[in-house]
Structure 1
């Protein structure tokens, strides 16, 4: 999976003399490729998520935020996507009035007209 001679983002060969970044997983990148796919800024902290299948890296600032709690929704969290693409932590998707989970079924509150 991690060919140390190939950049994990652009899939081009890493050549001797290239500026290279390496991860503990063994993945290697051209320095110019080790940037956020959303804001295009270089990754300079340990706060990022790498999507191996899409060959992208997203910095912590560009990861989706749960509109309920305001915290980052990472690929490691149990989450739910709304039809508009908004992501919620599964535990945050609750009725504001009664705090019942909204994870299952059709949502209709008896107080709604």
Structure 2
């Protein structure tokens, strides 16, 4: 059996050797490559094939959670190029876990589908609720299809166009001279 050579001092190891990462060390040379302190061979981290103590690993190498910024030492969740503790991968509005559901990332903050729509979807000009599906774009704003109604008769404006009266949509039927009284407040801007 050939004698072991310490990888730190290149001298023969006569009594006890610490063997780790395919290398042999004198026990007093099994030190952290960052802080230089002797490391317990049972409690160390390997970084780039070097020995790193727990404190240096936590301070310089451990992945940090995108939510709480503490080191991740257990199972983590990776998404959108960042990592989270499983317990931190939640909607910022309701704290609902997002691991098995749809989520949206806005400036580093995670939202469940419901709260994303509530906070970031365009609002209907008539009812003020978020628009999730199709929308009518008219008068420089958006409307739910079912909310786009004539200001006079309250019927849905579906096809055929509309006119504008005092900034409100008016169906073409209400703009016809035979269907409305001709008073200054009822005239459509044609």
TM bucket, shorter chain = 0.5 to 0.7
Residue from 75, 80, 97 that aligns with 2:122 = 80
Q: Which runs of 5+ in 2 are unaligned?
A: 1-61, 136-142, 150-155, 176-185
Residue from 47, 53, 75 that aligns with 1:19 = 75
Bigger share in strand:
2
State the SS of the aligned residue for 1:32.
Answer: helix
Aligned positions of 1:22-41 closer than 5 A:
22-23=78-79, 25-41=80-96
Name the TM-score, length of structure 1 as normaliser. 0.54
Asked if structure 2 preserves the Cα contact closer than 8 Å seen for 1:34 and 1:43, the reply is yes
State the SS of the aligned residue for 1:64.
Answer: helix
Return the offset for 1:64. 2.6
Q: C-alpha separation between the residues in 1 aligned to 2:113 and 2:131?
A: 16
The number of residues matched between the two structures is 90
Indicate whether 1:60 and 2:121 are aligned.
no
Asked if structure 2 preserves the Cα contact closer than 8 Å seen for 1:19 and 1:30, the reply is yes
Return the offset for 1:28. 0.5
Q: Which has the higher contact order (CA 8 A, sep 6+)?
A: 1
Asked if structure 2 preserves the Cα contact closer than 8 Å seen for 1:35 and 1:43, the reply is yes
Residue from 55, 59, 65 that aligns with 1:7 = 65
Q: Which runs of 5+ in 1 are unaligned?
A: 66-72
The structure having more radius of gyration, on CA atoms, is 2
Asked if structure 2 preserves the Cα contact closer than 8 Å seen for 1:80 and 1:90, the reply is no
Identify the residue that residue 107 of structure 1 maps to in structure 2.
168
Asked if structure 1 preserves the Cα contact closer than 8 Å seen for 2:89 and 2:99, the reply is no
Bigger share in helix:
2
